[in-house]
């Protein structure tokens, strides 16, 4: 690895550009901020993104991993939101196979249960109308059990099978940032905005601190966009505005796939309150979620599943898959994310709207609300709102991603090649060319290649071990106990690519294990 290609040198080069005149400063490195950065850069705007922690370290790596229309929003009359979400799902399935992939869902019907088969059928017909083609079908009880043999058979009337999609949410953010950088944008993680800079009562930039080197700087931009997710109110309060967000926590369980084997997703209602719950296969594990509870002030910051939430999700599994007898000890990992929901004061958190919003307050645009699936229209809405303060630029809608050619790699399966093309875009071939063939093998029973760890350490702004294991790859979620077996090989990669000596690696490993145990660990 050449010195000028080192992560340290790349970060130093980016920091040196901080004094450049910027058209747009984006604060927040989740999916919304990353999408705004990309849409701005590809239109010739000088765009800078700053993230106080790691890219996608908030909700954008801890979502339910679903790119979906939000079938339940139809029940609340949110037809426009559902239509927009379904159309975005369809576009992403076309543009980014291997990153956004179709997933069949089965929703079983039981005697006396809700929604009724007729009601759900009507909702799915509307769902398909938004998509432009039929994607659902009704099946009888026998076929439902053939599709998902672990279902509770007692009182089963049949089911509906329908299509939605899944993604690796953190890799989605990294792909957006990668494409934005290729278009000329600058993105820095671990840079905190300490104070907004105003002139004549209008925000014109920010004073910032590099959390890696503890150096300060100032950024000036014609437009400042606050895309801080659930923490967007922190900057708004600096301007004297009242808080408007209601952070809601969604928690998840991860099971080994052999413990609850599923070939497709199962969506069902919780027996206690009727809320939708799902279980589905993802990256070689079974993912179960989700909850929808207030993340109160005492727990603000890094979210983790609560005992009550874990009990709630285990109750759901016991109800829908009684023969599987899932216990707390079967859970190998957990995670929780915060939804940036606009507070309307509803008693039930699940009744709060998932609509997005843009607020212009003393020149700072705050973009918040919404859902993972609708990041593109949220980004375009932000650029439309910023356009009056910028020189004329093209606001025409265009695909988020140009579909990438599959890398040439006869030694890899088609599934591996599609997955690499989706996650790394035009860099997929380079990833394979830069890494030795001995690293083109999977890590344990996961789909992740050793080469991906090296590539991420070399090119993807890794500053800490949790960046590498929880977001650049998802090994900390899908193989949380395996790192004990391959710690030496991981140490070697970090030494070669990140220039970490043994002392640094041991500090990082200790910090990672403590963080994982506190926020991602198995149930006690």
Q: What is the CATH number of the domain that holds 28?
A: 3.50.50.60
Same domain, 372 and 499: no
How high is the pLDDT of residue 162? 96
- Please give the Cα distance from 176 to 178 (Å, whole number): 5
Q: What is the pLDDT of residue 355?
A: 82
Give me 520's structure tokens. Answer: 């991602």
Tokens standing for 407?
């890398």
d(C-alpha 461, C-alpha 455), whole Å: 10
The reported pLDDT for the residue numbered 92 is 97
Beta strands in 112-260 (DSSP E): 137-140, 156-167, 186-188, 191-199, 202-210, 215-226, 245-256
> For residues 293 and 24, what is the distance between their CA atoms, to the nearest angstrom?
34
- Same domain as 292, residue 158: yes
Task: List per-residue pLDDT tens for the chain, 524 residues long.
Answer: 333 356 778 888 889 999 999 999 999 999 999 999 999 999 999 999 999 999 999 999 999 999 998 887 787 778 888 899 999 999 999 999 999 999 999 999 999 888 889 999 999 999 899 988 899 999 999 999 999 999 999 999 999 999 999 999 999 999 999 999 999 999 999 999 999 999 999 999 999 999 998 999 999 999 999 999 989 999 999 999 999 999 999 999 999 999 999 999 999 999 999 999 999 999 999 999 999 999 875 445 689 999 999 999 999 999 999 999 999 999 999 999 999 998 887 777 777 777 889 999 999 999 998 889 999 999 999 999 999 999 888 999 899 998 889 999 999 999 999 999 999 999 999 999 999 999 999 998 899 999 999 999 999 999 999 999 999 999 999 998 777 788 899 999 999 999 999 999 999 999 999 999 999 999 97
Residue 402 confidence (pLDDT):
87
Is residue 407 situated within a structural domain? no
**Has residue 152 been placed in a domain?**
yes
Indicate whether 408 belongs to any domain: no
Q: Which residue do the tokens 């071990």 mark? A: 465
Instruction: Mark which of 341, 369, 404 sits at the end of a domain.
Output: 341
- Assess whether 257 and 156 both reside in one domain: yes
Final residue in a domain of this structure, among 279, 307, 341: 341
Token pair recorded at residue 255: 């099971």
Question: Which of helix, strand or coil describes residue 170?
Answer: helix
Gap between the Cα atoms of 292 and 276, Å rounded: 10
- 148 and 255 fall within a common domain: yes
- In 211-355, DSSP assigns E strands to 215-226, 245-256, 265-269, 276-282, 285-289, 293-294, 333-342
Q: Are residues 160 and 296 in the same domain?
A: yes
Domain total of the chain: 3
Burial 59-71 (b: 16+ CB within 10 A, else e): bbbbbbbbbbbbb
8 A C-beta contact, residue 270 and residue 315: yes
Q: Are residues 274 and 305 in the same domain?
A: yes
Structure tokens at 174: 């990294």
Tokens of 8: 């340290």
Instruction: For residue 315, give the CATH number of its domain.
Output: 3.30.9.10
Same domain, yes or no: 299 and 226: no
CB 171 within 8 A of CB 99: yes
129 with 277, same domain: the answer is yes
Q: 228 with 182, same domain? A: yes
- Reading phi first (left if > 0) and then psi (alpha if -120 to 50, else beta), residue 255 is in beta
Among 309, 341, 373, the domain boundary falls at 341
The whole model's pTM is what?
0.96
Q: Concatenated DSSP letters for 403-455? A: PPPPP--TTS-HHHHHHHHHHHGGGHHHHHHHS-GGGSSBSTTSS-BHHHHHH
Q: Quote the CA–CA distance of 387 and 110 in Å, as a whole number.
A: 52
The tokens for 472 are: 């650049």
| Residues whose CB is less than 8 angstroms from the CB of residue 429 and which lie 6 or more positions away in sequence, other chains included | 405, 407, 408
Does residue 253 sit in the same domain as residue 236?
Answer: no
Same domain, 149 and 175: no
Asked whether residue 132 falls in the same domain as residue 272, the answer is yes
Structural domain containing residue 268: 103-164+247-341
């Amino acid at each position: 690895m050449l010195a000028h290609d080192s992560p340290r040198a790349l970060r130093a080069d980016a920091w040196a550009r901080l004094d450049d005149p910027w058209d747009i400063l984006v604060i927040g490195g989740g999916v919304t901020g990353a999408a705004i950065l990309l849409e701005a850069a590809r239109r010739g705007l000088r765009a800078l993104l700053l993230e106080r922690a790691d890219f996608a370290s908030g909700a954008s790596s801890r979502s339910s991993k679903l790119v979906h229309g939000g079938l339940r929003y139809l029940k609340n009359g949110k037809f426009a939101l559902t239509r927009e979400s379904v159309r975005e799902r369809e576009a992403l399935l076309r543009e980014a196979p291997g990153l956004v992939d179709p997933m069949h869902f089965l929703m079983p019907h039981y005697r006396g249960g809700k929604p009724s088969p007729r009601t759900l059928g009507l909702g799915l017909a509307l769902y398909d109308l938004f998509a432009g083609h039929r994607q659902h079908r009704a099946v009888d009880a026998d076929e439902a059990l053939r599709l998902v043999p672990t279902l509770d058979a007692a009182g089963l009337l049949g089911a509906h099978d329908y299509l939605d999609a899944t993604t690796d949410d953190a890799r989605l953010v990294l792909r957006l940032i990668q494409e934005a950088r290729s278009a000329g944008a600058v993105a820095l993680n671990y840079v905190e905005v300490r104070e907004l800079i105003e002139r004549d009562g209008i925000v014109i930039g920010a004073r910032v601190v590099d959390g890696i080197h503890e150096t300060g700087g100032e950024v000036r931009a014609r437009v400042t966009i606050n895309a801080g997710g659930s923490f967007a109110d922190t900057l708004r309060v600096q301007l004297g505005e009242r808080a408007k967000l209601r952070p809601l926590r969604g928690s998840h369980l991860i099971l080994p796939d052999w413990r609850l084997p599923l070939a497709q997703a199962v969506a069902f209602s919780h027996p206690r309150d009727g809320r939708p719950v799902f279980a589905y296969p993802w990256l070689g594990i079974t993912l179960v979620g989700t909850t929808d509870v207030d993340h109160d002030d005492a727990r603000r910051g890094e979210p983790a599943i609560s005992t009550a939430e874990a009990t709630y999700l285990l109750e759901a599994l016991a109800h829908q898959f009684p023969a599987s007898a899932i216990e707390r000890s079967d859970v190998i990992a957990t995670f929780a994310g915060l939804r940036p929901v606009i507070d309307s004061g509803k008693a039930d958190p699940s009744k709060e709207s998932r609509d997005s919003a843009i607020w212009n307050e003393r020149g700072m645009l705050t973009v918040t609300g919404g859902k993972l699936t609708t990041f593109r229209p949220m980004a375009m809405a932000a650029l439309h709102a910023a356009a009056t303060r910028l020189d004329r630029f093209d606001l025409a809608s265009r695909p988020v991603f140009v579909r990438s050619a599959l890398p040439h790699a006869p030694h890899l399966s088609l599934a591996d090649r599609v997955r690499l093309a989706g996650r790394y875009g035009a860099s997929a071939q380079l990833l394979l060319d830069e890494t030795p063939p001995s690293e083109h093998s999977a890590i344990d029973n996961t789909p992740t290649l050793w080469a991906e760890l090296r590539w991420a350490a070399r090119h993807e702004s890794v500053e800490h071990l949790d960046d590498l294991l929880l977001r650049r790859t998802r090994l900390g979620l899908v193989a949380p106990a395996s790192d004990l077996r391959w710690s030496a090989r991981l140490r070697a990669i970090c030494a070669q690519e990140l220039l970490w000596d043994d002392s640094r690696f041991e500090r990082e490993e200790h910090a990672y294990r403590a963080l994982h145990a506190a926020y991602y660990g198995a149930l006690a």
